[in-house]
Amino acid sequence: MRSRRFRLPVLFLLVVQAGACVSWQAVSAPPEAYVREQAPDRVRVTRSDGVQLTLEGPEVRAGAIVATRSPGAILLGDVRAVEVERVSVLRSVGIMVPAALLLVLAANIACGDRC
């Protein structure tokens, strides 16, 4: 009974914490070549004027990077930088393990002698 009661909150905590371990990293390859060769799911593009756009399902078409799963496009000549999402496994573990331990400790304190 005890493990079933706390399974959902622990799972929720782990899922929420996993999103915190993703960061954007700059791509050193030319934007056009990177998008064509790597076919990333999402890219963050910085325009020459500093505005950032997140493009989902990017493809190179007619001299532009075009999002296929969300609205947005940017001409290759206007691209200053391209970044992709990277997951840090060490940071993920470093956040999730202590958080899960704290949740278990809080559950044991709250439960007291009843569990």
DSSP string covering the chain, please?
Answer: -HHHHHHHHHHHHHHHHHGGGEEEEE--S-HHHHHHHH--SEEEEEETTS-EEEEESEEEETTEEEESSSS-EEEGGGEEEEEEEEE-HHHHHHHHHHHHHHHHHHHHHHHGGG-
**Average pLDDT score over the chain:** 82
Residue 95 has pLDDT above 90, yes or no: no
pLDDT surpassing 70 at residue 10:
no
Q: What is the domain range of residue 83?
A: 2-114
pLDDT bin (cut points 50, 70, 90) of residue 1 is very low
Higher-pLDDT residue of 103 and 7 is 103
Share of the chain above pLDDT 70, in %: 76
How many distinct structural domains can be found in the chain?
1
64 has pLDDT over 90: yes
Does the pLDDT at position 21 exceed 70? Answer: yes
- Angstrom distance (rounded) from CA 19 to CA 92: 9
Q: Please report, as a single letter, which amino acid is at residue 17.
A: Q
Arithmetic mean of pLDDT, 111-115: 66
Provide the percentage of residues in the chain whose pLDDT is more than 90: 47
